[in-house]
Structure 1
Amino acid sequence: MSGCHRLKLLQSHLVSKFPVSDHDSSLAEYLSRSQEIDKTTVAEVYFGSFYPKIVELRNKMCSSPLFDHTEDVELSREPLRQKIIEQLGFLYTSNQLTYDIDMKDPAKKSEFLYCLGEYCQMTSTRFVVHITLYLDTIQNLGTQKHRNSIDRAYCLKDYGSFAMTELGHGSNVAGLETTATYDHKTREFIINSPRPTSAKWLIGAVGKTANMTSLFAKLIVDGVDKGVHAFVIPIRDYETHQPLPGVILGDCGKKIYLDGVDNGFLIFNDYRVPYDCLLDRLSQITTDGKFKSSIKNKEKRLGIMLGGLIRGRIAVVNGSEVCMRHSLTIALRFAAIKKQFSKQNGPEIPILDYQTQQYRLIPHLAKMFGIKSCGIFLMEEFKNVRSKTFDDPECNELAEYHSILSAMKNISSSFAVAATQECREATGGMGFQAYSRLNSHRNMSDVHTTWEGDNTVLIQQAGKFIFKQVQRAFKGIKITAPSLSYLTLDLDQVKSFKVDFSTEEELYNEKLLIELMEYRVNWLLHQSIAKLQENGPKFDDMFDAWNNTQVHYLQDLGKSYGECIIAKQLLKLVNGVLEKNQMTGAVIKKLFYLFVLERVEKNSGLYLENAFNGSQIRLVKDAEVNLCRELAKDSLHIIDAIAAPDKILGSAIGNADGQMYSNIIKAVEASKRVYDPPTWLPILKQVRNAIELK
C-alpha cells in the first residue's frame, strides 16, 4: 500500500460519517452450527504437490506492500501495468526457474503461475505469456542453438510474447496469413503481413513489454507453401525498446478486463531475420536450399507445433478453479452473514439457510472440487507425456492427452463463467461493487472461454479423438486409450442399460454413479454416429456432414467425455481425504455425489430416453436438493480450509473476519472523492437553469 493511500485510508477511519459498527458475529455463529473438519487434510489433498509453495508465496505476498487490492481498484492502465511488473520481479527473483529445473520437474512452472493467480490473474496472465507460451514454444520446437534464447528468457533478460493469433484468424491456425519467405542467397527469412487481417492481434506483452516473440507464419520455400512454422525473433531494440526496422507495434487498447496485460498488434514489412530464427526441431532447410521435415503431413506437424499451448491450457484450468474458489469463498461467507426476513417475527434468517440460495451455490462448490481434481490429474499426466513426446512427437499418449486437455479447458472455463456469475447475482448490489472483487473473477472467467483455444473448437477436437478411436475399433484395432476403456461399440448393449434404484439412499453408490457418467458417453457416441450416417448422404463432403452434427451430438459427446473424467478424478480426490480422515472424508465425499447427480439431473432428458423412468429422475432431484442442504451447513468449513488469506482474496464482503458491513464502508470511504462535490457541478447547474420552471 502506498504511503498516500495508507494515509487516506487512516483519515477515512478517523472521520467516518457512518455510525460506529458493532462487531458482527454472524459468520462465527454460522460456522459453529456444524462440526469442524480437518482443514489441513482437505488443503493438502486439494492442492496436492502445490501446497507447500502456495503457503510460502501466500506468506510472501501478505508481507509485501506491493500486494494490495484496495489500492489496485483505483489504478489506471499504465500504473497498473507497472505495478504488475514490480510484483513479478519481487516474486520471481526468489523463485527463479531455469531450463534444468523445468526439465526435471515440469510442474514448477504451473505451480508458480497458480500461486500468482491466487492474488490476481492479471499478474499470472502477464507471466503465462512469457514463461509458458513463448518459452515452451522454443523448448518444444527449437534445438541446441536456441539454448541461449531459452536461458535469457528464464533470467528475464528477454521478455517474450506469443504471436499466433491474427486479426482475421485465430482458431484456424493453418489459415494464418503472415508469411516467412526463405531467401537462399542470404539464408534469411523475409517476414511480411500482406493484408490488414494478417496483423498479429491481441498478442500479450506486445503492446509495451516484449522485446522478443515466438512467431507463427507460413513458411514459403521456392514459392511453395510448406505450412505454418514457428520462429523466435526480436521485435524491439534491446537498448532503446523501440520497434526494429520493418516491425510495427502498437497497443490494442482498452478491453472488458485485463487492462494490466498489454495486448498489442504486430505488423511486418519485409522484415529480415537470420536462418537460426527458425525453430527447426521438426523442419529444416538444407544448405542447398531444400526443405525437409521429419513429419510429412502438414496437419500433424502443425498439431505438434501447437504443443506450446499445453501449459497455457493447464493454466486456464487452474485459473478457472481459482476464480470459482475465490467467488464461492466470497458468496458463501456473504450468505452466512446476510440476513433477510424472519419466521413469526423472530430474528432474520441467514440467506444461506434458504433452499434457493443453497441450490444456487453448493453445486458450484462440487464442480470446483471436480475442476481442481482434474488440474492435479493434468499436471501428473503432463509429466509422463512430455518425456514421451520428445522421443516420439506422434505418440498416441500425446493425442489422448490433447483430447482430455481440450475438453477440460472447455468445461472448466464454462463452469467458472456460470459459477462466478451466480456468485455475483447471489451477493446482490454489494457483489456488483468492485470492492467485492467478484467482477474480476467473472471477467477473468469470461476471457478463459476464448483464449488458448476457442471452447467450441476445442470440444470438437475431443469429439474427433473419440471418433478416431472408434473408427480404429470398427477395423478390429483395440481401443488402447485409458480414458475410453469403457466404450461399448454394441448399440444393443448400450440400449440394455437400465438403472435399478428405488430409494434416494441407493443413489449414494460410487460404482453406480460412475456407470451413469460412462453410459452418457456411450449413448451420445451412438447417437452421434447415427446422426453422421444420416447427414452423410445429405451433403457433398464430410466437412459439412461433421459441421451439421455438432449441436446436441458431437459437442455434447465431447463434454460428456470430459465430465466423466472429472467424476473419476473427483472420486479419487475425495477418497484421498477419506483415507486420511474418515469424518472429514465423509463430508467431502458428498461433493462427488452432488457433482454426478447434478450432471444427471441437468441431462435428465437423455437418461429418460432409455435408462431411467420419471420417478427415478424425481429421486435424483430430491437427492440433489438434500445434498445441497446438508453441504450448506459444512460449506463454510470446507471453503475456509482452502480459501486464500484475506489480503490475497481482497474482498470487502468476503473476509474471514466476518465484518462485511464495516469493511465495505471502509472501502467506500477510502475511495477517491467519496464526500466531495462533483467536478462537473457547473454543468449540473447549467442544465438546471436551461429550462424555466412553469
Structure 2
Amino acid sequence: MASLLPDFPPGPLDFYRKKASFDWKKMKIFVESEEVVRFLNYASDVFQTLPDFQTDDHSPTLDQQRHKTFKQVVALTQTDFNEKTGKAKTVAAAVRTCIHIAPSAFAKFGINRHYFRDILQNQGTDRHRKFLEDAKNYRINGCFCLTEIGHGSDTKSMRTTATYDKETGEFVMDTPDFEAAKCWASGLGKTATHAIVFAQLVLDDVFYGLHCFVVPIRDARTLLPYPGLVIGDMGEKVGLQGIDNGFVMFNKYRIPRENLLNKYVDVTVDGEYKTSFKSVQEVMQMTFAALSKGRVNIATLAEGYGARAITIAVRYAAVRRQFGPDEDTEIPILEYQSHQYRLFPYLAAIYIVRLFTMYLIDIIDKLEIEQDKRSFSDLITEIHVLSTASKSIAGWLFRDAIQECREACGGHGYLKVSGIGDTRANHDANCTYEGDSHVIIQQTSNWLIKLWPKIEKGTKIETPLQSANFLSDAFDILKHQFHATNVQELCKPENIVDAHQWLVCYLLKETKSKVESLKQTRGSFWVKNDTQVFFAKSLSTAFIQHFFLQRMLTVINEATDVSIKNVLLKLFSLYGLWSLEKFLSTLYEGGYMQGPQGSRLVHEAILSLCGDIKNDAVALVDAVAPPDFALNSVLGASDGQVYQRLQTAMFSVPNGMSRPSWWQEVVNWKSSKI
C-alpha cells in the first residue's frame, strides 16, 4: 500500500487527516481498483517527463496554444496509454487524468480516437478499412461533423446534402448557405484531414434523412483544403483554446459512393436504397447510438472537473482560518456550517457520479463488442435515455459546484494560479456540446411517458439495466407517505430511495396527465413544448437522480470494510436528501409530505450529515484528488502550504515588481494635472 499510494507530505492538512474515520488509500482502491491506481501512478510519471505537458507561467497566444496542443496530441500518440486503457474504469481514469493536465489535447486526441475511429469501425465495413488503419496509425487526422450553424440539437432539420449521381457513382455534397455550414468540429479548423460528416441523403430527389459519410477534406501532405471546400477556424472561445474548432462548407463536392458508411444502409451503383431495417428512424437509432458513449464521457469529464474544484476548495477551507469563538482564536473555515453546506453535497456528488459513469461506460464497452446490435435495441435505448439525462445533470451539477468552489475560496480563488478559473471555463462546454442539455434531457422524459400506458395496464416493467423496473409498482408507490420521525430514520437508504421513487412516479403521472389535457387543444409539438417546465424536465431529473442512488447503493453493499461503508452511506444520504430538498414543494403538492415536520427533518438531516462528514472531508478529497502535478493549484496542493505557494506565485509574476513599460505616460498625465 505504501509503494502504491505514498503518504502525503506533512503539513497543515494533517489536522483533519488525523481525524478521518477511514483510510483514504483503501477508499481510493475500493472506488477505483488497484489496477486503476497503478495506471494513474504510471500516467502521472509519464506526463511529468514529457516537456510539452509542463505548465506555463505566461498566457500564450491563440496560435501558441494550438501549436502546444498539437504537440501534446503527438506525445499522447507515442505513449502506450492505448494498451493500458482497456477496461472501463481505466478509460474513465485516463479521461480524468488528461483533462487535468491537457484538456484541449485530450479532446482532440479523443475525437480522433473515440468518434472518428469508433464510428468508422462501428458504422463502416471492409471497404472503409483503409481509412480506419490510417487513422489508427495517425496517417490521417479525423474530426466529427454533425452540428450546423443554424441547427444543433434539431438534427432532422440539418441541410447539408449528399445527392447521389448515378452517372458517376458519386455523392455530391453541398451546403446551400452559411447557416448549413458544418461547425464546432474539433480539429476541423486547422489540422483534420478527414471528417465523419452527417448529411441528408438524397436519391432521385427523395430525402432519406441524415446518413454518415467519411469525407477527405485536406491533403495530408500539405494540410491545404481540397477544391470545393471552404474551411475555417472559429476563433477564440471561453475555454479549451487549444482546440481548433472549425467550420466547413461544401460546394458541389464529390466523394465516391463507397464513402457512405454502410454497415446498416447502402446505396447501390444504380442508386437503390438498401437496408434491413424497417424504417429510416431505426437506421437513425443505430447511427446515433455511438453518441451515447460520448455523452457518458461528458458526464465523466464534468465529474473530473468537479473533483478538481472540490479538491482545491476543501483543502483550502481546511487551511484558511477566519474568525473564532474569541479574539485569540481563529478556526478553519471548514468548521463553519454554511461552508460545509456549500461544499459537501458536491463532494458527495463526485462519488455518486464517478461510480455511475464507470458502470455505464463498462456496459457500453461490452455492448460495442457485439457484432449485431439490433438484438440489443432495448439496451441501446435505455443507455441512450440514461446517457442523455446523466450528461445534462452532471453538466449542471458540476457547473454549479465549480462556481461555488470559486466563491468559497474567496478572492484567492479568483487568481489564475488557484486553478479554478480555467476549470470553470473548460467545463462550461459540457453543458452544450453533444446536445444542449435542456433539449436532450427531453429524450429521457419521452421514454418514461411511453411507459405509462403499460403501467396503467399492469404490465410488468423490465428494462435491461433495471433503471425503471420499480415503475411496475407505481400505483402502490404513489400510496406511500413520509413517515420518518427523526433524522436517523430519515437517513436510512430505504427511506431516501422510497421518496425518490414516489417522486418519479408522481411526476410521471402528472406529466402524462398534462400531456393528455393539452392534446385536446394543442398539436403534438406544442404539447411537448408546454409540458417541460415543472413537468418533463423535473421528471427526467428525478429519474436519473434515483438511478444514481440505485447504483451507489449497489456499490456500497459490496464494501467489506465497515469504515468505508459507513462514510459512503453518509455520502449517499447527504446527496439523496440534498436532491430531495429541491423537490420539497412537489413532495407536499402530491401529498407525500404533510405539515412542517418533513421539510424540517430534511433540512436538519442535511446539516447533521455535513457535520458528520466534516472530519472526513479532507480524506474523502484525498481519495479522488488529482496528483499535485495535474492539479497545479497554489490553494489545493496536497501539502496544504497555501501561503508559501501564494508567496512564490506572486513573487514570480513576470514584471510584477517593476514599473510598466508605459510608466512615462502615467507620469506625464499626472504632471498635466498638477
2:66 equivalent to 1:84: no
Question: Which residue matches 1:485?
Answer: 469
| Aligned with residue 534 of structure 1, among 502, 517, 521 | 517
Cα deviation, residue 402, structure 1: 0.5
User: Which structure 2 residues correspond to residues 190-589 of structure 1 after superposition, within 5 A?
Assistant: 190-388=172-370, 390-392=372-374, 395-474=377-456, 477-481=459-463, 482-488=466-472, 491=475, 493-539=476-522, 541-576=523-558, 578-579=559-560, 581-589=561-569
Cα 1:570–1:118, aligned 2, differ >3 Å: closer, same or farther?
Answer: farther
Q: Is the 8 A contact 2:32 2:89 kept in 1?
A: no
Deviations 1:139-192 (A, max 9, x none): 221111112211221221111100111100100111111111111111111111
Cα deviation, residue 96, structure 1: 5.7
Letter in 1 for 2:467: S
2:96 equivalent to 1:117: no
Q: Is the 8 A contact 1:366 1:591 kept in 2?
A: yes
2:548 equivalent to 1:598: no
Q: Output the CA distance in 2 between the equivalents of 1:356 and 1:200.
A: 47
User: Which structure 2 residues correspond to residues 49-198 of structure 1 after superposition, within 5 A?
Assistant: 50-71=36-57, 74-95=59-80, 97=82, 110=92, 112-198=94-180
Cα 1:354–1:328, aligned 2, differ >3 Å: closer, same or farther?
Answer: same
Letter in 1 for 2:149: L
Question: Which residue matches 1:16?
Answer: none
Question: Which residue matches 1:11?
Answer: none
Letter in 2 for 1:603: F
Cα deviation, residue 498, structure 1: 1.1
Question: Which residue matches 1:5?
Answer: none
Q: Output the CA distance in 1 between the equivalents of 2:38 and 2:170.
A: 48
Q: Is the 8 A contact 2:344 2:610 kept in 1?
A: yes
Q: Is the 8 A contact 1:70 1:650 kept in 2?
A: no
Letter in 1 for 2:156: A
Cα 1:155–1:490, aligned 2, differ >3 Å: closer, same or farther?
Answer: closer
Letter in 2 for 1:589: L
Q: Is the 8 A contact 1:219 1:228 kept in 2?
A: yes
Which is further off, 629-638 or 49-58?
49-58
Deviations 1:188-210 (A, max 9, x none): 11111111101111211011111
Cα deviation, residue 344, structure 1: 1.8
Deviations 1:495-520 (A, max 9, x none): 42112221111123122221111111
Please report the TM-score for the alignment, with normalisation by the length of structure 1.
Answer: 0.91
Letter in 2 for 1:537: Q
Q: Is the 8 A contact 1:205 1:264 kept in 2?
A: yes
Q: Is the 8 A contact 1:114 1:124 kept in 2?
A: no
Q: Output the CA distance in 2 between the equivalents of 1:106 and 1:245.
A: 42
Q: Is the 8 A contact 2:88 2:362 kept in 1?
A: no
3-state SS of 1:233 partner: strand
Q: Output the CA distance in 1 between the equivalents of 2:451 and 2:38.
A: 40
Cα deviation, residue 476, structure 1: 6.4
3-state SS of 1:219 partner: strand
Q: Is the 8 A contact 1:389 1:398 kept in 2?
A: no
Cα deviation, residue 266, structure 1: 0.8
Q: Percent identity?
A: 28
Q: Output the CA distance in 1 between the equivalents of 2:276 and 2:418.
A: 53
Letter in 2 for 1:604: L
2:658 equivalent to 1:688: no
Q: Output the CA distance in 2 between the equivalents of 1:458 and 1:190.
A: 31
Q: Is the 8 A contact 1:137 1:307 kept in 2?
A: no
Deviations 1:319-342 (A, max 9, x none): 111111110110011101111112
Q: Is the 8 A contact 1:96 1:155 kept in 2?
A: no
Cα deviation, residue 307, structure 1: 2.2
Q: Is the 8 A contact 1:140 1:307 kept in 2?
A: no
Q: Output the CA distance in 2 between the equivalents of 1:418 and 1:601.
A: 16
2:596 equivalent to 1:612: no
Cα 1:546–1:689, aligned 2, differ >3 Å: closer, same or farther?
Answer: same
Cα deviation, residue 469, structure 1: 2.4
Cα 1:430–1:408, aligned 2, differ >3 Å: closer, same or farther?
Answer: same
Question: Which residue matches 2:616?
Answer: 634
Q: Output the CA distance in 1 between the equivalents of 2:63 and 2:304.
A: 26
Q: Is the 8 A contact 1:70 1:667 kept in 2?
A: no
Which is further off, 78-87 or 415-424?
78-87
Deviations 1:241-290 (A, max 9, x none): 11111111111001111111110111111111111111111211112221
Please report the TM-score for the alignment, with normalisation by the length of structure 2.
Answer: 0.93
Q: Output the CA distance in 2 between the equivalents of 1:464 and 1:337.
A: 48
Cα deviation, residue 120, structure 1: 3.3
Q: Which runs of 5+ in 1 are unaligned?
A: 1-22
Q: Which runs of 5+ in 2 are unaligned?
A: 1-8
Q: Output the CA distance in 2 between the equivalents of 1:393 and 1:262.
A: 39
Cα deviation, residue 36, structure 1: 5.7
Cα deviation, residue 107, structure 1: 6.8
Cα 1:107–1:241, aligned 2, differ >3 Å: closer, same or farther?
Answer: farther
Cα deviation, residue 655, structure 1: 0.6
Q: Output the CA distance in 1 between the equivalents of 2:619 and 2:11.
A: 16
Cα deviation, residue 42, structure 1: 1.1
Cα 1:389–1:47, aligned 2, differ >3 Å: closer, same or farther?
Answer: same
3-state SS of 1:273 partner: strand
Question: Which residue matches 1:44?
Answer: 29
Q: Output the CA distance in 2 between the equivalents of 1:568 and 1:628.
A: 21
3-state SS of 1:181 partner: strand
Question: Which residue matches 2:6?
Answer: none
| Aligned with residue 648 of structure 1, among 630, 640, 659 | 630
Letter in 2 for 1:484: A
Cα deviation, residue 537, structure 1: 1.1
Cα deviation, residue 127, structure 1: 1.7
Deviations 1:65-114 (A, max 9, x none): 4323344x53222222222232233233232648xx99x86776555434
Root-mean-square deviation (CA), in Å?
2.2
Q: Output the CA distance in 1 between the equivalents of 2:50 and 2:651.
A: 24
3-state SS of 2:168 partner: coil
